Amino acid sequence: MLENKDTSKTDISTLGEFGLIEHLTKQFKVQHKATLKGIGDDAAVIESKDPMVVSTDLLVEGVHFDLSYMPLKHLGYKAVVVNLSDIYAMNAIPMQITVSIAVSNRFPVEALEELYAGIATAAKAYSIDVIGGDTTSSTSGLFISITAIGHAKKEDIVYRDGAMDNDLLVVTGDVGGAYLGLQVLEREKQVFKVNPNSQPDLDPYTYLIERQLKPEARKDIVQLLIDLDVKPTSMIDISDGLSSEILHLCKSSKVGCNLYEEKIPLDPQVISSCEEFNLDSTTIALSGGEDYELLFTVKQSDFTKVKANPHLTIIGHMTPEKEGVHLITRANTKIPLIARGWNPLEND
């Protein structure tokens, strides 16, 4: 886990906008030859022979994160990772990001230093150049917008619309952990409100909480697929829940799908915590979101290449579009799969 440290407070107005940007970004050094110009001019300059893959995410305090249990350093790290995940989902390699924040005056300079320390940690871990961005004032809370720029050969890029009938559906890692980590943190927040002296025992939930507060993008999978000599026919990252992402692939590719409940990979902490919270583990896996695993399809002929890999699980197969999208339960019942993943535009 990332660590925070106590510091004195400096009002951000003492530095001014440009002074603040310079102060927060002086630690970033260029790592890639393709980054011809990073921070310090009117615009960054990137050299590229191959196509660029670009993705942007906006994180809003009170909607996407709660600072009562999300340390700022972890938030900076996570804000980078969720963008990089989108680039890996295109079978591309991220190399550059821009970082823009809007911040209210309740945040001192030291708080923003913590945020940018998390961004710097992620940039180092994933070999990313921070090449620009902006800071501005906010009348309410903290907003973070990160744009990630990846690079890939045109023939290597994988889209959502390439899945075919009989393709195998594959997921990396395991799912459901991040949502349960959020439930644990929310529960402890409510306990703290009632009794501020209570000390929560979070040891049984270490994996779940880390999945929520410090997720990792699957940068290893792009190279793994190269090593296995497998190119997915379609791919997406799991940000809004497994069911939502399967439906995205099916809609884009104009196919159906059979997903097998017994094949969905679950961590033991997910299973035990579902029992504790009286939740159905399959529902959590399908609807939880924020796992940032990769979901992709491969040809049947690639079955032997992926079947025994510990990082990959075959969880279903694609069908003709007219057959629809279904969950095949452990009791061998066929249930239509619907999207119950997180929707940021829904009212609570």
- What letter does residue 167 receive in the DSSP assignment? P
How far apart, in whole angstroms, are the C-alpha atoms of residue 190 and residue 234? 41
Helix (H, G, I), strand (E, B) or coil at 151: strand
Q: Report the 10 Å Cβ neighbour count for 300.
A: 11
Q: Positive or negative, the Cα torsion across 202, 205, 210, 212?
A: negative
Give which of 103, 152, 95, 156 is closest to 127, Cα–Cα: 95
- CA nearest 286: which of 274, 272, 297, 276? 274
Q: What is the pLDDT of residue 295?
A: 98
pLDDT of 19? 65
Q: Which three-class secondary structure state does DSSP give residue 198?
A: coil
Tens digits of per-residue pLDDT, 38-82?
Answer: 877 788 898 889 999 999 999 999 999 999 999 999 999 999 999
Task: Report yes or no on whether pTM surpasses 0.85.
Answer: yes
β-bridge mates for residue 170, sequence order: 296, 314
Looking at residue 224, what is its pLDDT? 98
Arithmetic mean of pLDDT, 172-189? 96
Q: Which domains, ranges and CATH numbers included, belong to the chain?
A: 12-156 (3.30.1330.10), 168-336 (3.90.650.10)
**Model pLDDT, residue 17:** 59
pLDDT reading at 345 higher than 50: no
Residue 320 pLDDT: 98
Task: Evaluate if residue 250 carries a pLDDT over 70.
Answer: yes
Question: What is the structure's pLDDT at 125?
Answer: 97
Whether pLDDT at 205 is above 60: yes
Query: Percentage of the chain with pLDDT > 90?
Result: 76
Mean of the per-residue pLDDT values of the chain: 91
pLDDT tens-digit series, residues 255-279: 999 999 999 999 999 999 999 999 9
pLDDT of res. 16: 61
**What's the pLDDT score for residue 198?**
80
DSSP notation for 289-347: -----EEEEE-GGGHHHHTT-TTEEEEEEEEEGGG-EEEE-TT--EEE----S--TTS-
